[in-house]
Amino acid sequence: MKILLLGGSSFLGRAFASQALDRGHEVTTFNRGVSATDLAGVESVRGDRDSADDLARLVDGRNWDAVVDTSAQQPAQAALSARLLRERAGHYTFVSSVHAFTDWPAQVITEDSPRHPCPADTPPDQPFSNVLKAGCERAVLEEFGAERAVILNSGLLIGPYENGGRLPWWLERMACGGRVLAPGDPTRTMQVIDVRDFAAFGLDLLTAGTAGRYVTTAPAGRLTFGEWLETCREVAGAAGTKLVWVDDAPLLAEGPDKVEPWSELPLWAPDLPEMAGIWLADTSRAEAAGLRCRPFAETARDTWDWLQARGPAVDTDAEGRKGRPGALVRQGIEPAKEQRLLAAHG
């Protein structure tokens, strides 16, 4: 098949490109060439997806069997690309997010859960908001129709080349050694999916010509937060690295040492009503359609191997949180703050 990737050079796009090439497909990528280098073997077209002229140049004289859109963040972006491609491609896979559902993360979601009422014609350049993904979905469906499109509502993606920094932060923290602040309940389950498994599932649907919507993450209950941290410690931990578990309550207490869930201690989701469904998305439809997820230990090892080849994070912000130029999010607690909390509660 001839596949167009809108994006296609970093993390999720890279995973789609790599697996599509391995399966013998012809792959074209369209991106600005800023985030990462395109894989050898793809036809690389440079351009800005916000530019109608650049998109017109992309489609001039080209046709594809299918499009995979991993990069649209604004409904106007999705609408422009889908409009220009609807007569140039037979199928459109749009990678959305569980953020598109109004009930998430407070409640369990399925494919039939209500979505944010963001219209397809939302004006461009809106401030970043989770509701925008719902508008992107509507824009794609308006142009391609439900019978020619797949919407993948992604859960949290992890794995090699991760640009969100969550698994890399924990691995690098374990490698630093010492006493590590482990927040909350170690038995609380998680839902995270290896980016390679996500891409494999998306390509399976694409090549089969499948249409519809799929909540796409690992099945609930496969992994606990304790297993996540222990695996990271086993994979990357220095001699003497020790997890010190601290309950939610003192970490959430008001004051200078209050910890921000999710970002200061990545993926820590306290037992709060507004986060009750965060790791409970219903993936039964995706599983029935063939979704398979590898063990977390394999993902952690492969990500650590990639980090060793890439080298440690080289940039920090004013609070000491690690990051790299171009990273999506800066992750991690300031080291002195972690030590204060360990001294007080560990």
Q: Which phi and psi angles does 262 have, rounded to 5°?
A: 80, -40
In a domain, 199, yes or no: no
Residues 177 and 127 in one domain: no
Q: Which phi and psi angles does 341 have, rounded to 5°?
A: -65, -40
Residues 7 and 139 in one domain: yes
Spatial separation of the C-alpha atoms in residues 302 and 167, rounded to whole Å = 11
3-state secondary structure of 80: helix
Residues 25 and 126 in one domain: yes
In a domain, 204, yes or no: no
Identify the segments of the chain with pLDDT beneath 70.
Answer: 312-330
Residues 147 and 173 in one domain: no
How many folded domains does the chain comprise? 2
Residues 149 and 246 in one domain: no
Count of CB atoms situated within 10 Å of the CB of 336: 10
Residues 46 and 107 in one domain: yes
In a domain, 281, yes or no: no
Residues 150 and 184 in one domain: no
Helix (H) or strand (E) segment spanning residue 58 = helix 52-59
Residues 108 and 185 in one domain: no
pLDDT digits (tens, 9 = 90+) for 277-323: 999 999 999 999 999 999 999 999 999 999 999 876 555 544 444 44
pLDDT reported for residue 310: 86
Long-range contacts (CB closer than 8 Å, 24 or more residues apart) made by 11-15 = 11/157, 11/161, 11/162, 11/163, 11/164, 11/195, 12/70, 12/95, 12/157, 12/195, 12/198, 12/199, 13/68, 13/70, 13/71, 14/39, 14/161, 15/159, 15/161, 15/195, 15/196, 15/198, 15/199
Count of CB atoms situated within 10 Å of the CB of 108: 16
Residues 141 and 266 in one domain: no
pLDDT digits (tens, 9 = 90+) for 117-147: 999 999 998 998 889 999 999 999 999 999 9
Residues 146 and 236 in one domain: no
Q: Which of 127, 154, 181 is the last residue of a domain?
A: 154
Provide the token pair at 167: 């698994």
Count of CB atoms situated within 10 Å of the CB of 253: 11
pLDDT reported for residue 319: 45
Residues 38 and 114 in one domain: yes
In a domain, 170, yes or no: yes
pLDDT reported for residue 312: 63
For 117, the domain range is: 2-154
Q: How many helices (H) does the chain have, and how many strands (E)? A: 11, 17
CATH number at residue 120: 3.40.50.720
CB 201 within 8 A of CB 215: no
Dump the DSSP string for 134-185: HHHHHHHHHHH-GGGEEEEEE-EEESTT-SS-HHHHHHHHHHH-SEEEEES-
Residues 140 and 24 in one domain: yes
In a domain, 182, yes or no: yes
Provide the token pair at 4: 């167009």
